[in-house]
Chains A and B, each alone.
Chain A
Amino acid sequence: MTFDQWMLAFHVLAAFALVSGSTLFWVLVVAVRRIDTPDDTLRLGPVARVGNAAIGIGMGGTILLGVYLAFALDGYAIWDGWIIAALVLWLIGAALGRQVGEAYAAGPKKALELKAAGQTGPSAELLALNRTSRGVLFHALTTLVLLLIIIDMIWKPGA
């Protein structure tokens, strides 16, 4: 395998990490909708951290290796329409993802406050934060952007 084949393989693996992180958060989005206690909310924290790590590796790996490949491979150029589209979608996805993170950070924050105050029972306020419709909307939009990037990468319109 050549160096560029390795880079392509890592680029694709980074894309898998990104989709894995996004899917993991969909599972958590569904799971957290029934959770109204601080302990159960905080118990999802380590799993969410795996999702964050996967998304971090995925975002970094796809952009760095993708830009490298655009320069390294014959037949591709960084100013190709489909590559520019992918870069723009990546930036939009990053901005939307940040919104998702902010929306879902409110639940664990409230859970910590409740726990510190000695309230370990069910909380309607915590349940409402865990069921954030803003978070669901932004996560759906982020997923749509991810799907568009995958479509762009496979069809390579204009290439």
Chain B
Amino acid sequence: MSVLAAVRPDDWNFPLFVHVIGAMILVAGLVTGASALAFARGDAKMLRLGFWALMLVSFPGWVIMRLGAEWIYSREGWNHVKSSLQPDWLGIGFIIADAGGLILVITLILGGIGVRRLQAGKGAGLLKAVLVLSLLLLAAYVVAVWAMAGKPG
């Protein structure tokens, strides 16, 4: 209980704030993008809205989240602790953040191609794949938030 109730040193707060805000923007972009893609039903404007929500909300959010993560990681002194001694929640966070970032970039590339194909009248198949990847990313980041907040292990 005392771990849960701990108050952090003041100089940890701003890096943590940057990390949390970035993560919130990332998740918000995924929710928005996935919703627009899911309810588009072939409508080109909605499909574009979904893609641009991922591009202009999620991706900047990921960058801010990842910069904040590195900042708070070093501020808390984890960079001086052997990785084998680091807690599980930290490992879960790093794996999901980095693998998720790679999948997000792939998703955005597919989405960009999908939007171009849509403009050329070639169908929205790629954007359906983008929807599936967005939902997978959303699920993964929910697990990451759970791990960061609940701190298992």
Contact = CB atoms under 8 A, between A and B. Distances in A.
A137 interface: no
Contact of B150 (A5, A73, A156, A159): A5
Interface in B1-59: 1-2, 4-7, 10, 13, 16-17, 20-21, 23-25, 27-29, 31-32, 35-36, 39, 43, 45-46, 49, 53, 57
B123 interface: no
A155 interface: yes
A24 B38 CA distance: 14
Interface majority SS (helix, strand, loop, mixed), chain A: helix
A1 interface: yes
Interface in B131-151: 142, 145-146, 148-151
Contact of B24 (A2, A19, A155): A19
A43 B35 CA distance: 12
A147 B150 CA distance: 22
A9 B144 CA distance: 10
A16 B45 CA distance: 27
A43 B2 contact: no
Given A43-B43, A154-B16, A24 B31 contact: yes
Most chain B CB atoms below 10 A, which of A5, A15, A22? A5
Give the bracket for the number of chain B residues in contact with chain A: 35 or more
Contacts of B148: 12
Interface in B94-122: none
Contacts of B53: 27
Contacts of A155: 10, 13
A43 B142 CA distance: 28
Contacts of B2: 74-75
A16 B7 CA distance: 21
Contact of A8 (B25, B28, B150): B150
Contacts of A46: 35, 39
Interface in A12-71: 12-13, 15-16, 19-24, 27, 31, 40, 43-44, 46-47, 50-51, 54
Nearest to A11: B149
A47 B2 CA distance: 41
A73 to B, nearest CB: 5
Interface of A: 1-2, 4-6, 8-9, 11-13, 15-16, 19-24, 27, 31, 40, 43-44, 46-47, 50-51, 54, 73-76, 150-151, 154-156, 159
28 contacts: A1-B152, A4-B4, A5-B150, A5-B151, A5-B152, A6-B150, A9-B149, A13-B146, A16-B145, A19-B24, A20-B27, A20-B32, A22-B28, A23-B24, A23-B25, A27-B53, A40-B45, A43-B45, A43-B46, A47-B46, A73-B5, A75-B5, A76-B5, A150-B17, A150-B20, A150-B24, A154-B20, A159-B7
